[in-house]
Structures are given as structure tokens and as C-alpha cells.
Amino acid sequence: MIFIVGGAGYIGSHVNKFLSKKGYKTLILDNLSKGHEEFVKWGEFIKGDLKDKRLLDKIFKEYNITTVMHFAALTDVRESIKDPGSYYRNNVKNTLNLLDAMQKNNINRFIFSSTCAVYGDPIETPITEDHPCNPISPYGRSKLMIEKILEDYSNAYDFNYVSLRYFNAAGADPQTEIGEWHEPETHLIPIILDVAIGKRENVQIFGTDYPTPNGTCIRDYIHVMDLADAHYKALKLLEEDKSEIFNLGNGDGFSVKEIIETCREVTGEEIPTIESDRRPGDPPILIGSSKKAKRILRWEPEFSDIKDIIETAWEWHQKLNNEII
């Protein structure tokens, strides 16, 4: 059985669906602070928190868990700058609870949701896994701290891990059973789609004076189902008792203005914009090299076209806003 911590959230729920369709049994733990119970459509669900060490021990004793996948974290860069304590408690301390409960119960396979925010302001792109890690936010630092802990645990104990450094997760399940749903929403694509659907009046463009061709930030958008496929492949790697770190991106960058333009094309809506100040903690360009994941995991993104990615997000966005899920 695969234990999916944070499996009611955006990425975790897509991984749960993907693994369930591959025939894996899954157990989901989520405190529902950000996740949605409606997203746990596969596997078993326990509502609970990583603070609760007794619960973790009980779960590991009761269920036949072979691998733990850990998605539960706070992920808002801006919030982490204002309230670092809650990021270190939630993302670092709680992960230690999970790792220690695994140790105690001899469970030794771990897949970690890491982030391109561990790199900070890159000195060159596309970013490879051996690029220096100098995170510029408590969020990025909290994820890097866990990566270091994982490295130490794998050296000291019978323990293997795969850390997956996601670039910008986007899109939704092509069958629209689940998708992106954050409250409040801070991410670019769902905010633009909110404008397209009439929930917001305009999109703020955070910074038009970056050192990029049109002055707006460039990001590497990767479809959430491609991320899910990479987790499945990471699971296979762990079965060979190996530990690795991989970037997961498309290797292509799109500026904020290009994303807005593609959303106009996909939705047929006008989508008014306002030019605003830069948002703190945003590097100008983040583009990842996924050559290592392609070579070792034999992973290949299926959704490499940004328009296809946004189309799945738009399908889901309309469903989310027009129906009660």
C-alpha cells in the first residue's frame, strides 16, 4: 500500500488517481487545511495531521505500507516570508515526525515533493540538478532542509528516497474529476481563468521590468498528470533501492504575458490586465532541465504544449465554478 500524505491536495490527488488506475492500493492522510475531501475519490482516507505522532505510529502499525509519498506542505512563498515559523513547523518539523515514525516501523521508501524554489535566483538556465541551491525564501529553505535531512537519513539508515523538484505545476485531470482548487488562489493560471469566467475583473501582472524579453517573469509549466506519472516512475526506482533527486519541468519557459495571451486564445475571453509592482521572492526566470528524469526514470511529459495544459485547466475551471463538486 502507498501512503499519500497530503493526498487531498492538488498534486497529491492527481498522483492518487494515477496510482489507483495503475492498480496500487492507496491510503490518504490529509488535515484538509488546504485539501478537499471531495478529491479523495480513490483509496482509503484518514483525516489527520502530521503533528500527531501517535496517529502516524498507529497507521504504520495497522496498514501494510511500503512507500510514503509526502505532499503535505505550506507552499506560498509570500506567506513564508511573513510567517517563517509556520513554514518551518509545518514543512520541516512535521516531516521529521513522518520520517521518524517510518524509521520506528521499518518503512524505508520515501518520495518527497520538492520545488525549483530550492535553487533561488538561478545563475544559468535551464537549471540542472547540480545547480547551486541558494533559496531566497523560507519556503524554499524549508524544502531544501528536508532534502538535506533525507540525504543524511539515506546515508545513516536503511532508507531510500526520491526528491522531485517541481517547476510550475499546472493543468488538471483530462477527465475533469479533480483539478486545481486553492482558497485563496495565488497562482497565475487559475487567477487568469477566474477573470475569463467573470469571478475577477482583471489580472495583476506582478512586475514588467524584469530582465526578460517582455519584462515579465518566465516560468516552466508542467502538467500535473505528467508530475503524477513521474511519481509512479519514482516508485519503480525505489523498488531498486536507489535514492535520487530529479527536476520535473518541460524545459520551456513562458512569460506572464505569454500565459495571459494563451489563456485568451483558449477561452475566447478578453481578460483585462493591470501592471503592478514586482511580488517579493519571484526570480525572473525559472526553466528546468529534466534530462536526468528522462534518462533515469524514462519519463517523458505527455503535455508539452502550453495550450494543451491550459485547455485542461480551463475545462476543470469551468466545472469547478459551475457545479458543486
Catalytic sites, residue numbers:
139
**CB 219, min distance to ligand UDP, A:** 5
Candidates 180, 270, 175, 267; CA nearest to 221 is 180
- Which window, 203-211, 264-272, 300-308, 316-324, contacts ligand UDP (CB under 6 A)? 203-211
Nearest 5°: the CA angle 252, 142, 149 is 105
Per CB under 6 A, 187 contacts ligand UDP? yes
Q: Which of residues 26 and 247 has its CB atom nearest to ligand UDP in the complex?
A: 247
Distance CA 189, CA 204 (A): 12
Q: Exactly one of 20, 204, 208, 289 binds ligand UDP (CB under 6 A); which one?
A: 204
Count the site residues for ligand UDP by CB under 6 A.
15
**CB 188, min distance to ligand UDP, A:** 4
Per CB under 6 A, 88 contacts ligand UDP? no
Which residue has the CB atom at the shortest distance from ligand UDP? 217
Q: Which of residues 43 and 281 has its CB atom nearest to ligand UDP in the complex?
A: 281
- Which window, 18-26, 148-156, 197-205, 287-295, contacts ligand UDP (CB under 6 A)? 197-205
Whether the CB-CB separation of 2 and 24 falls below 8 Å is answered with: yes
Looking at residues 256 to 275 of the shown chain, list those that interact with ligand UDP (rule: CB under 6 A): 256
Helix (H, G, I), strand (E, B) or coil at 68: strand
CA distance readout (Å), 231 to 15, 69, 89, 227, 252: 7, 9, 25, 6, 21
Residue 63, all three cell numbers: 496498514
Q: Exactly one of 41, 88, 174, 206 binds ligand UDP (CB under 6 A); which one?
A: 206
Per CB under 6 A, 188 contacts ligand UDP? yes
Strands 26-30 and 44-47, bridge-based pairing: parallel
Per CB under 6 A, 222 contacts ligand UDP? no
Q: Which of residues 106 and 202 has its CB atom nearest to ligand UDP in the complex?
A: 202
Burial environment of residue 211 by CB neighbours within 10 A (0 to 12, 13 to 18, 19 or more): exposed
**CB 85, min distance to ligand UDP, A:** 21
Per CB under 6 A, 50 contacts ligand UDP? no
Q: Which of residues 72 and 256 has its CB atom nearest to ligand UDP in the complex?
A: 256
Rounded to 10°, the helix 10-21/224-238 angle is 60
- Phi–psi pair at 94, nearest 5 degrees: -65, -35
Distance CA 165, CA 167 (A): 7
Per CB under 6 A, 202 contacts ligand UDP? no
Q: Which of residues 218 and 237 has its CB atom nearest to ligand UDP in the complex?
A: 218
- The torsion of the CA quartet 177, 179, 182, 187, rounded to 10 degrees, works out to -170
Binding residues (CB under 6 A) for ligand UDP: these are 77, 168, 186-188, 191, 203-206, 217, 219, 256, 279, 282
